[in-house]
Amino acid sequence: MDSFFYSILGFIVAIGILVTVHEFGHFWVARKLGVKVLRFSVGFGKPLWSWRGRQKPPSGSARDSARLAQTTDDTEYVIAAIPLGGYVKMLDEREGDVPEAELHRAFNRQSLSVRSAIVVAGPLFNFIFAVFAFWAVLVLGEVGLRPLVGEVSVDSPAAKAGLVHGDEIVAVNHEPTATWTQVLYQFAAASVTGNDIVFQVKDAEGGTQEHLMAADVIGDFAEVEDPLEQLGLAPDFPVFPPVMGRILEDEAAAAAGLQVGDRIASADGQLVDDWQSWVEYVRERPGRLIKLQVERDGRLIAIDLIPKAAGTQDEPVGRIGAAAQVPEGIWDKYRVHHSLGMLEAIPAAVVKTWDFSVLTLKVMWRIITGEASLKNLGGPIMVADAAGQAVSAGLVQFLKLLAIISVSLGVLNLLPVPVLDGGHLLYFALEGMRGKPLSEEVMLQGQQIGMALLLALMGLVLYQDISRLIS
């Protein structure tokens, strides 16, 4: 229930922020350039709240001389019921009668450069917001797992590339990687672009060397649940002793009489060396009796334990409702806090925004050409799920998600598809080449085609979302 709540909350907040940023770009530039804005709406459908603001009219023009004092701006601000977008409605002769005294403030009466600036402002503000969000993430810093290589599967791509247990991946394709998250991002980028992966690693003795992994063994990361497993690579984790650190009430461990501090010595006569092997042993035995030898206060105690069945009916797993005791300082070697200074983070945030923009375009192109799986697509359900996870993970993760989605919105809106901002810019480019606007009939036909394409895309991403839920 909590995860569902976080998903809904995260989705509404994320979309609300990003739509507001996008539409504010159109709104702010339009107002600055003297165009009258009739409505600024976040969301579609029935208005839930609406109000009117005040503005100071632009100065420096004779037509503004009578309006130098602060006046009612005639803009209606709306929060509507359907939080899946928004719009800015400007004064326009194509959408209704315009009083002669207001003609100079109509969008359609503006120069090509003014109209283009207003249209491009929405995506531009998305990119600016992404830079700010990435900057905040870099300054606040992330706590992540140091990219230490654990088990490497025999004959796997990672093994053939020369990676061994104990290596630390310090860079991928010459990009520094302080955490496993950064490593995975570089893997995903290589998967999209089809580039080879060059690892720079620091070995257990402190020396550095490079290893190459060919592109043809990487595959499409969207097709697999665990990209690292596909490469035969596992992160290195600390080894916890098989000691009970927490026991939940009304679960199998409590019912069997296990206590905090108990050390599992053996299970069914087999020695238990660490917590992970104990977890795997339990998971393989749902509903089956396990005879334990438990070390408690210096003596061995026999305990009968029957794990509860969890998971699915087809693939049940054992669960006892207990967590390991974590020795103090055991994570010090594995966790890292990565951050940058406030000034240092500015160019880094710009580069991140650019890299994500390029990567988004490449993913889109590979999907269009059939080189990438449709599983790379995601809609509102996937966004809601990601937002829920980000909200529960904290501010830094939520800001990172906002930055990534903002980049995606900026890129998507610049595509030359009618009804999108990029479609309007395409019309303006054709107008500039022809020396006159396109006919209303041509633009209407383009809008209908664009709407059909957009609806088809929405249907496709919803299908992908639902497929993920039921798979």
The domains found in the chain, sorted by start residue, are 244-324 (2.30.42.10)
DSSP string, 59-109: PSSGGGGGG-S-EEEEEEEEEEEEEEEEEEEE--GGGS---GGGGGG-GGG
CA distance 90 to 35: 7
Q: Supply the Cα-derived Rg of the chain in whole angstroms.
A: 29
58: helix, coil or strand? coil
pLDDT at 67: 46
- The residues near 439 (Cβ < 8 Å, ≥ 6 apart) are none
Q: Which long-range contacts (CB under 8 A, 24 or more apart) does 27-33 make?
A: 27/88, 28/121, 28/125, 29/117, 29/118, 29/121, 30/88, 30/90, 30/107, 30/118, 30/121, 31/55, 31/58, 32/58, 33/58, 33/110, 33/114, 33/117, 33/118
Catalytic residues, by residue number, are 23
pLDDT at 66: 43
* Ranges of residues in the chain whose predicted pLDDT is under 70: 1-6, 54-73, 216-225, 370-393, 457-471
**The predicted structure's pLDDT at residue 256:** 93
CA-to-CA distance for 84 and 305, rounded, in angstroms?
A: 51
Task: Kindly state the tokens that stand for 306.
Answer: 């029957």
Segments of 177-271 assigned E as strands: 197-202, 208-213, 233-235, 244-247, 263-267, 270-271
H-run or E-run covering 15: helix 2-32
Report pLDDT for 461.
Answer: 59
